[in-house]
A and B are shown apart, each in its own frame.
Chain A
Amino acid sequence: MVRELKVTPIRNGTVIDHIGNGLALEVLRILEVHQLDKDSTVSVALHVRSSKLGWKDIVKVENMELSPRKVNAIALIAPTATISIIRDSKVGEKRSVNLPDRIAGVLRCPNPNCITNHGEPVESEFEVYRRRPVTLRCVYCERLVDEFLRLLR
């Protein structure tokens, strides 16, 4: 319990726990916290003891619930994360992030010659080629992708 208090509790919003050690800043980037309203608090805990992971990061964001697109992006970057929705200071819903079989609009294709990088009115789309370690395949050019950070849209 003492550890929990290192990060301020929130009344309404989202807690993303069990983020792999050192990945919280990437999660913040996915959340686009700079676009939050100015009264919302964002708390970040880095390098927190975790019985499951050894060390972990935690992110709490007030007044934000995540779109499916953001959840999918977090699933790629931080596959161990759990997401809790807080409503009136209570955990309303808690779940692990889960990678769907197809992911649209989250990543750009790393193949510069892929048609999705050439101004077509189309969302990038990947299918899961392998889950451990996560490898995706571009639905269009069939390129395999296993590094996601620099490809986030």
Chain B
Amino acid sequence: MGLKGRDLISIRDLSREEIDEILAASRRMLPYARGEKHSKILENRILVLAFFEPSTRTRLSFDTAMQRLGGGCVTIADPASSSIRKGESLSDTVRMLSAYGDAIVLRHPNEGAARLAAAVSELPVVNAGDGAGQHPTQTLLDLATMQEAFGTLSGLKVVLLGDLRFGRTVHSLAHALALFGSQMVLVSPPPLRLPEEVREQLDRAGAKVEEEEQLHRALRDADVLYVTRIQRERFGDDLEFARIADSYRVDTAVLAAAKSRLIVLHPLPRTVEIAPEVDGTRHAAYFRQAELAVPVRMALLSLLLTGKSG
């Protein structure tokens, strides 16, 4: 089944082959994303950006992606002024928005909102984050960054560090890595361990997953260190938070024992998890990861709307 006309709600909606197709298309989009080449493949197409929760980078990168391919966007960026505020159901809002464009990108505070939108709309719906649920395009650009660095996703050893319990990006990423046979090492404070049900799903998918308490031990032979934000509100008191945040902080001393090719990723924005001194090292790939947001979303929109990628 091709990607044209499809929804992307959860990374589970994609097979390994389809992820490969999107990543390959993303690589072809690089010069277009930089403005070095020009494309009109989405000319006269309109993307509806329906953001019922604040977002800057996700919304702007979709907007940029659409414009780079000759298309346009209409946007709900302030839910306070929209009809949802007047008590309209999401189902009705989505039906109405379906008349305005060719595809819908939705961010919403409730889990399952994007699946609901896809059920009521004829248009392709892309989930740009539903509460604590899924954010599949973030996973695609995480994968794109790894693939760009190593040329493959198979056989990589990926350390997932930080809040593995509430961090939605980690669950989607782990699922995708399992598809590619990557090896995962989980490092997190005990209260923020990967939920049992996510772990079990990974085991069922045949993923190679181990847990490690010590970050420096986990980093041995690792290719990727994926860092997530540990949020203050997950902890009862400031002291406990400060102790945990400090023990999971990534700095040049921690990275001294790592392979020289190891890359550090972070979905951003970061707070204290990665010391600024890491930014200048060859390990820092998180800004590159953010840059790839545009070509990856260009590739996805192009494939969903036309079935082609250039």
Seen from chain A, the residues whose Cβ lies within 8 Å of a Cβ on chain B are: 109, 111, 113-116, 118-122, 138-144
Chain B 99-137: CB-based contact to A (< 8 A → 1; otherwise 0): 000000000111111011001000000000011111000
Chain A nearest CB, measured from B176 CB (Å): 15
User: Which residues of chain A have C-beta atoms less than 8 A from B115's C-beta?
Assistant: 115, 139-141
Q: Is the CB of A141 within 8 A of B89?
A: no
Seen from chain B, the residues whose Cβ lies within 8 Å of a Cβ on chain A are: 10, 89-91, 108-113, 115-116, 119, 130-134, 197
Q: Is the CB of A138 within 8 A of B112?
A: yes
- Which residue of chain A is the closest to B133 with respect to CB atoms? A141
* 15 CB < 8 A contacts A-B: A113-B109, A113-B131, A114-B111, A115-B110, A115-B113, A118-B110, A120-B89, A122-B91, A122-B116, A122-B119, A141-B110, A141-B131, A142-B111, A142-B112, A143-B111
User: Which residues of chain A have C-beta atoms less than 8 A from B197's C-beta?
Assistant: 144
Q: Is the CB of A142 within 8 A of B116?
A: no
Complex Cα gap A80–B197 (Å): 26
Q: Is the CB of B131 within 8 A of A120?
A: no
Complex Cα gap A133–B10 (Å): 25
- Which residue of chain A is the closest to B116 with respect to CB atoms? A115
User: Which residues of chain B have C-beta atoms less than 8 A from A143's C-beta?
Assistant: 111
User: Which residues of chain A have C-beta atoms less than 8 A from B108's C-beta?
Assistant: 115
User: Dominant SS at the A interface?
Assistant: loop
Complex Cα gap A110–B112 (Å): 13
Chain A nearest CB, measured from B69 CB (Å): 30
Chain A nearest CB, measured from B92 CB (Å): 8
User: Which residues of chain A have C-beta atoms less than 8 A from B130's C-beta?
Assistant: 115, 141
Q: Is the CB of B119 within 8 A of A115?
A: no
Complex Cα gap A109–B133 (Å): 14
Q: Is the CB of B89 within 8 A of A142?
A: no
User: Which residues of chain B have C-beta atoms less than 8 A from A122's C-beta?
Assistant: 91, 116, 119
Q: Is the CB of A121 within 8 A of B111?
A: no
Complex Cα gap A115–B107 (Å): 13
Select one of B10, B90, B132, B133 contacting A120, CB under 8 A. Answer: B90
Q: Is the CB of A113 within 8 A of B10?
A: no
Complex Cα gap A140–B134 (Å): 11
User: Which residues of chain B have C-beta atoms less than 8 A from A118's C-beta?
Assistant: 90, 110
Chain B nearest CB, measured from A62 CB (Å): 40
- Which residue of chain A is the closest to B204 with respect to CB atoms? A130
Complex Cα gap A120–B95 (Å): 13
Complex Cα gap A109–B110 (Å): 13
Q: Is the CB of A115 within 8 A of B10?
A: no
Q: Is the CB of B91 within 8 A of A114?
A: no
Select one of A113, A119, A120, A144 contacting B111, CB under 8 A. Answer: A113
Chain A nearest CB, measured from B202 CB (Å): 13
User: Which residues of chain B have C-beta atoms less than 8 A from A111's C-beta?
Assistant: 111
Q: Is the CB of A142 within 8 A of B110?
A: no
Complex Cα gap A116–B113 (Å): 8
Select one of A113, A140, A144 contacting B116, CB under 8 A. Answer: A140
Q: Is the CB of B116 within 8 A of A120?
A: yes
Q: Is the CB of B110 within 8 A of A113?
A: yes
User: Which residues of chain A have C-beta atoms less than 8 A from B91's C-beta?
Assistant: 120-122
Complex Cα gap A114–B108 (Å): 11
Complex Cα gap A33–B249 (Å): 60
Q: Is the CB of A114 within 8 A of B10?
A: no
Interface centre among B10, B109, B113 (most CB of A within 10 A): B113
- Which residue of chain A is the closest to B197 with respect to CB atoms? A144
Additional 8 contacts, C-beta under 8 A, given A113-B131, A115-B90, A115-B108: A111-B111, A113-B109, A115-B110, A115-B130, A118-B90, A120-B116, A121-B91, A141-B112
Chain A nearest CB, measured from B98 CB (Å): 16
Chain A nearest CB, measured from B243 CB (Å): 30
- Which residue of chain B is the closest to A139 with respect to CB atoms? B115
Shortest beta-carbon contacts, A-B, top 5? A140-B112, A141-B111, A141-B112, A115-B112, A115-B110
User: Which residues of chain A have C-beta atoms less than 8 A from B119's C-beta?
Assistant: 122
Chain A nearest CB, measured from B127 CB (Å): 11
Complex Cα gap A111–B134 (Å): 15
User: Which residues of chain A have C-beta atoms less than 8 A from B133's C-beta?
Assistant: 141-142
